[in-house]
Amino acid sequence: MASTDAVVRSRRFVAGSAGGGLLLLLSGCAGGGPSTLDPAGFGARRVEGFWWLLFWISVVVFVEVMALLVWALVFRRRPDRRVNRSEPTRFVVVAGAGLPIVVLLTVYGIGLRDLAALSTPEVPPAVTVEVTGHKWWWEVRYAGVDGATANEIQIPVGEPVLVRLRTVDVLHSFWVPQLMPKTDLIAGKVRETWLHAERPGEYRGQCAEYCGLQHAHMAFLVVARPRAEFDAWLARLGAPARTPDSDAERRGQQAFLGSACVACHTVRGTAATGTVGPDLSTVGARWSLGAGAVSNDGGHLGGWIANSQTVKPGNAMPPQPVDAAALPDLIAYLQSLR
Ligand code: CUA
C-alpha cells in the first residue's frame, strides 16, 4: 500500500513539474514586451534569423540525443547480443566528435557573416546620434545640432542612423530588441552601432548590462517617424526652449532660475546651463521621468522635484528644498517645455 502511495505521489510530482514548466514557457509567449522575435529593423531581423537557426539545430540535436538514449537503454537490456567492437568506436568518433565540429564551425561561420553585416549598414547613415550612458539615464545629442534630450531617440523611418556610444561612468549596454542587437558602452572608447526602423512607431530600448542599483530604470524610447516630422522635431531640439505663456509658467520659470536646479540642468535660452543632469529644454514632451521609472505627468513631476530619491533611489539628484506654494508653478513651467 505504501509503495502504491509513493508511486502516485511521484506521478503527481512529475505531472505537476511538467505542467509548471509548460506554464512558465507559455508565460514567455504572452509577455507583449519588446522582442527580438518581433523585428522591425535590419539588425533585429538578422538576429532573429540567427536565433531560429540555433533553435532548430538545438531541436534536431536534442531529438537525436534522446533517441540515442532510448536506444542505449533498450540495447543495454540485451547483454547477450553480439557486438562488433569496432562499430561503436567509429560511431563515437563520427557522432561524438565529427558531427559537433561540423555543426559548431558552420554556426561560427554564419555568426561571423552576420556580425560583418551588422557592423556596417548598406547605405551610409544620414543621421548621427551621440548617446552617452550615465548612471542611470541616456544623454542624446545629434551631430550638428546644439541641443540635447534624454532617454529618447527620434529617427527618420526607413533610413540607417549611426549611433556613437560613450559612457561617463560604468559599463552599460545599448539594446533595442526590435531594431538592433546589444552594443556595450565601454569607458574610454567610442562604440558605433546603427539603428534602422522599417515602419513608424515607438520601440522600447533598455540598458542590458547590469550597472548598479537602478539598472532596471535605464530605459529609453526610439521613435521612428516620417522624414519631414523628424526634421521638424530636430529643428525644435536645436532651438531655444519655449518661453512661458501664462502667469503660472512665468512664476515657475522665476522659481526654477532662482533655485539650485540651474547648477545641474540646462534650459536652452535661459541662465540655466548645467550639464550634470539631463537637458530640460523639452522635458515636457518626454515619454517618462527617470528613464522609464514613472510616467511624465504633473503628479510624478512634483514628486520627482521634491524628492526624486523616493521615486528612483540612488539617482544623482539630491532632494530639493522647494516651497510648497511654488511647486504647482514649477510643474506648469517644466510641462510647458516641449
Ligand atoms: Cu546601465 Cu544597466
Residue 207: strand, helix, or coil:
strand
**Cell triple for 124:** 551610409
Clarify whether residues 205 and 253 are in a common domain.
no
Clarify whether residues 147 and 104 are in a common domain.
no
Minimum CA distance residue for ligand 1 atom 1:
172
Clarify whether residues 205 and 268 are in a common domain.
no
**Rounded-to-integer distance, Cα 263 and Cα 222, Å:** 29
DSSP per-residue letters across 112-173: HHHHHHHHS-SS--SEEEEEEEETTEEEEEETT---EEESEEEEETTS-EEEEEEESSS-EE
- Distance from the alpha carbon of residue 188 to the mean position of ligand 1, in angstroms: 17
Domain that residue 55 falls in: 2-13+35-79+86-119
- Distance from the alpha carbon of residue 185 to the mean position of ligand 1, in angstroms: 9
Does some domain include residue 242?
A: no
Clarify whether residues 167 and 258 are in a common domain.
no
Does some domain include residue 21?
A: no
pLDDT tens digits, one per residue of 79-100: 555 555 666 688 888 888 898 9
Atom of ligand 1 nearest to the CA of 215: 2
Does some domain include residue 6?
A: yes
- For residue 281, what is the domain's CATH number? 2.60.40.420
Clarify whether residues 64 and 48 are in a common domain.
yes
This prediction has a pTM of 0.84
The total of structural domains in the chain comes to: 3
- Distance from the alpha carbon of residue 216 to the mean position of ligand 1, in angstroms: 7
pLDDT tens digits, one per residue of 184-208: 999 999 999 999 999 999 999 999 9
Clarify whether residues 177 and 260 are in a common domain.
no
Listed residues 119, 135, 170: the one ending a domain = 119
Atom of ligand 1 nearest to the CA of 171: 1
Clarify whether residues 217 and 144 are in a common domain.
yes
- Distance from the alpha carbon of residue 31 to the mean position of ligand 1, in angstroms: 22
Does some domain include residue 266?
A: yes
Clarify whether residues 255 and 324 are in a common domain.
yes
58-65 long-range Cβ contacts below 8 angstroms, 24+ apart: 61/103
Atom of ligand 1 nearest to the CA of 211: 2
Q: Comparing C-alpha atoms, which of 30, 27, 49 is closest to residue 39?
A: 49
Clarify whether residues 7 and 101 are in a common domain.
yes
Does some domain include residue 191?
A: yes
pLDDT tens digits, one per residue of 24-53: 555 555 556 789 899 999 999 999 999 999
Atom of ligand 1 nearest to the CA of 209: 2
